[in-house]
Amino acid sequence: MTRIIESLEDVADHYDALYCDLWGCYHNGLAPYPAAVAALRAFRAAGKTVILMTNAPRSADQVAGHLARMGAPTDTHDAIVSSGDAARAEVASHRFGRRVHYLGPERDLSFFDGAEVELVAAEKAESVIAVGLRDDSFETPAHYADDIALWKSRALPMLCANPDLIVDRGETRLYCAGAVAAAYEAAGGVVTHSGKPHAPIYRLGAARLNDLCGAGPHRVLAVGDGIRTDVLGGLNHGFDSIFLAGGIAHDVIGGDPENPDPEAVARFIAAEGVRPTYAMGRLR
């Protein structure tokens, strides 16, 4: 049964390291949560390790830049591991061919720097590399029905660099690459995911943790608001987890996002069929 806790401090003694999500956990897309910053600082002050593990389809350096621009401190974590870096490694290996069709905004074209691939129209591509929507300010997966039909007609494999379905930027909800990937899978397309809950990002996380702390075993705690990404990924890889019920699922769970009703949280967990070790409202 999932245990409701008041703070990270309640269980911190049982773990050596955190894999901590970013969006909806560390920040809201615009600014860090002060309580999350304090909790991570305290965890590190006890001699433990924090790896920020994000499904952002960008490099760790780009994620660090984004955090800096929103005023996040650098003493909350030891490293950043991103789905973007895991996906970039796949593209650079040419597992998805050398002629690829890019799905995403112009601002993320740097994703392909150094990959030695050619970006081409879907009619000429060997695969689809999904980094995001072309314009997430208004688009939904429904806007991609014609694209999906074309990709499926050519049996193009897809690499999804961000398995998240949605994200909240402040009070605005946006679709992510994972939502288009899910629509493609529903149409019969074949999709490989680089981020949580899938293995590539956890391989990167393990390598980075071993670099920082030496060979394990390490007692890792996964923290995040995505029950089918952060929590499921932790479970699949043998880690305990904290589900943050005040994040992306708050509109379903309802109540106070800082202190959600335990019965509402239990109903949500039962409906999802994914059982975290612990749950709380927001990271503190």
Report pLDDT digits (tens) over 221-243.
999 999 999 999 999 999 999 99
- Where do you find CATH 3.40.50.1000 in the chain? 3-84+197-280, 94-193
pLDDT of res. 169: 86
Give me the pLDDT at residue 197, please. 98
Band (pLDDT 50/70/90 cuts) for residue 161 is very high
* Residues contacting 21, CB < 8 A, separation 6+: 52, 53, 54, 196, 223, 224, 225, 226, 229, 230, 244
Nearest to 251 by CA among 229, 217, 225, 214: 225
Using the CB atoms, write b or e for 116-148: b if 16+ within 10 Å.
ebeeeebeebbbbbbbbbeebeebebeebeebb
Q: At 206, which helix (H) or strand (E)?
A: helix 199-213
d(CA 258, CA 260): 6
pLDDT value, residue 216: 84
Report the C-alpha gap between 233 and 217 in whole angstroms: 18
Residue 213 pLDDT greater than 90, yes or no: yes
Token code pair at residue 2:
């999932």
Confidence tier at 219 by pLDDT (50, 70, 90): very high
pLDDT confidence tier of residue 198, bands split at 50, 70 and 90: very high
- Rounded to the nearest 5 degrees, what angle is found at the Cα of 201, between the Cα atoms of 224 and 145? 85
Q: How many CB atoms neighbour CB 4 within 10 A?
A: 17
Residue 232 burial (CB count, 10 A)? 21
Q: What is the mean pLDDT of residues 17-29?
A: 96
Q: Say what the pLDDT of residue 150 is.
A: 98
Give me the phi and psi of 81, to 5 degrees please.
Answer: -125, 130
Residue 142's SS3 state is helix
Average pLDDT rounded to a whole number, residues 199-226: 96
Please give the CATH architecture assigned to the domain spanning 94-193: 3-Layer(aba) Sandwich (3.40)
The helix/strand/coil state of 59 is coil
Residue 170 pLDDT > 90, yes or no?
Answer: no
Determine the average pLDDT of the residues in 59-74: 97
Tell me which CATH code domain 3-84+197-280 carries.
Answer: 3.40.50.1000
Residue 231 main-chain phi, psi, to 5 deg: -75, -50
CA 221, 230, 233, 254 torsion-angle sign = positive
Q: Write down how long the chain is.
A: 284
pLDDT > 70: percent of the chain = 100
Calculate the CA dihedral of residues 51, 163, 166, 139 and round it to 10 degrees.
Answer: 130
